[in-house]
Structures are given as C-alpha cells and as structure tokens.
Amino acid sequence: MFISSFLEYLKCEKNYSNHTILAYKTDLISFRDFCITEFNQENITSIHYNQIRSWIVSMVNQEISNRTINRKISTLKTFYKFLQKTGGVKINPLAKHKALKAEKKVQVPFTKNEVKNVINCIDVEDDSFTNIRNKLIVELFYSTGMRRIELVDLKVKDINIYDKTIKVLGKRNKERYVPLLPSVLETLNNYLVLRKQCVVENEENLLITLKGVKIYETLVYRIIISYFSGVSTKVKKSPHILRHTFATHLLNQGADLNSVKELLGHSSLAATQVYTHNSLEQLKKVFNKAHPRSEKTK
C-alpha cells in the first residue's frame, strides 16, 4: 500500500519518468523481500536502521558496487521522507546515514576525429533508411547532448524546421529547446523522406525501426557501440559518452557553463560541472601556452 502510494506520488507530484519510477519500485521491492526473508517482516514502515544496515552488508557481500548501493539507499531515504510527510512514520531510519565512499568515474569523451570518422564512415556506406537513420542518431546525440531516453521519445512534431530547433522532453517532463545545426537538418530532411516509406500509420515517434514502429533503447545503444567500436579504443562507448562529448567539446570551445547546463537539461550547475574535468585540461594547455610567465627561461 505505502509503496504504491509512493510511486503514485513520484508520477503525479514529482513528474518522474516511467523509467525512474520503475527503478524506485525495483529497489523498494528488493528491500521488502530482504526484510521478509531475513526478519520475517513485510511491513517496512516499522524497520530500524540496523535492519537496513544488514541489507547494505548483504549487498557488499554480493560485491555490488558502492555507487549502486548508494543509489538504492537513496531510494529508501526518499521513500521514508515521503512516509514522514504523509504520517506513515514518525522518524526516518536513514536520517543519519552516511553514504558509502564511491570511486569517482572519469568519463573519457570521444575526440573530434573519432566522431568525425564515424559520421564519414556512415556517409560512404549507402543511402538506405537504416543508414540514414543511424547517422541521424549519431548526429543528434553529438549536436544536442540529449539523453538516450529523450532521443527515443522524440516525436515528429518536436522538430521545427523553420526555427531550426528541436523540443526535448527531459526529466520530470521538463521541456527544453535545442538548436539544430545545418548538417543535422540536412540528415533529418533526408531521413523524413525515407521514413514515409516505412512508418506504420499513426506512429508519432520520430525514430523508428525497419518495421515502422518506435525505436527502442537497446537498439540505440547497439548502434552507438557498433559504429564507435570501429574508430575508438576507449573502454566505454555509449550514448552517454556522446552526451559527455557534446558537453566537453562545447566547454573546450569556450561555451559558458550556464549555457551548457540549459542545453543538457540539468536542474543545477553541480550536475553540469561533472563535464568540466576534460575542459579544464584543455584550459591548462591554453594557459601554459599563452601566459607570459609560462615561457621557458632561456
């Protein structure tokens, strides 16, 4: 009952996406099942911190990463905050909990040449529907910085050819408008012509499969992996790395942090600052090259 009410709250009040709500639900059910198995206790509103700590220990023993454990505990903490507000509990058992230390992952972006090589590679292949669609996917990721789910959920009506913009529906149903480069518009126009030949009637989504229906996230992931594996030796290749590449390249070219924040759809600058690591390295090179005091003494 409490879990259902909480998930409804996330959907109606917080405007969380279905993907995010499912993640919360999975974490809560996992914790509830643990409590039933270990303590024969299904009602998680009367849980104590020691029992939660046992869950944490069990996850550590399963070699689940600290980052993942922290995310699951964050779900639990948010759940108990909701119960406090609605009178389900008087005290949040996680009020004084400190997150486990998690190693910060440095996301290595693709280079300009790697992205250019992928686009050039697609250009010389053929003019088939699949090829043009895949090229559009790569260009949209790199030129807008949108998330994978945002790309999958794009509608044809979100494209404004005249204003040269695209409307992106981000987290919590927050809309943002991102400009489209001329090269992307060209690919988009070519794709829309081919799309008419494949699309199932009344399909509103922009990106579709050969069967004419909405494209899905795993296919998008496979497309990015397939193309970038041929040009890059980086360990991680994913749509998120293209998003990271978009932000890093903009910052390297002098874009201000606030503008990048708006383009990415972040709610705070703190989230955008994650992408400044590589741009700072670029700034150091420029600084050392340009500053008078950095000149080598003869």
| Residues with active-site annotation | 147, 171, 240, 243, 266, 275
Give the 3-state secondary structure of residue 117. helix
CA–CA distance, 198 with 76 (Å, rounded to integer)? 45
Helix/strand/coil (H/E/C) assignment for every residue in 52-64: HHHHHHHHHHCCC
Measured distance CA(281)–CA(226) in Å, rounded:
29
Dist. CA 159–CA 145, nearest whole Å = 16
Beta-bridge partner residues of 155: 205
Residue 275: both structure tokens together: 């992408």
- The CA dihedral of 33, 37, 42, 47, to the nearest 10 degrees, is -90
Chain centroid to CA 261: how far? Answer: 14
Name the nearest CA neighbour of 110 among 18, 247, 223.
247
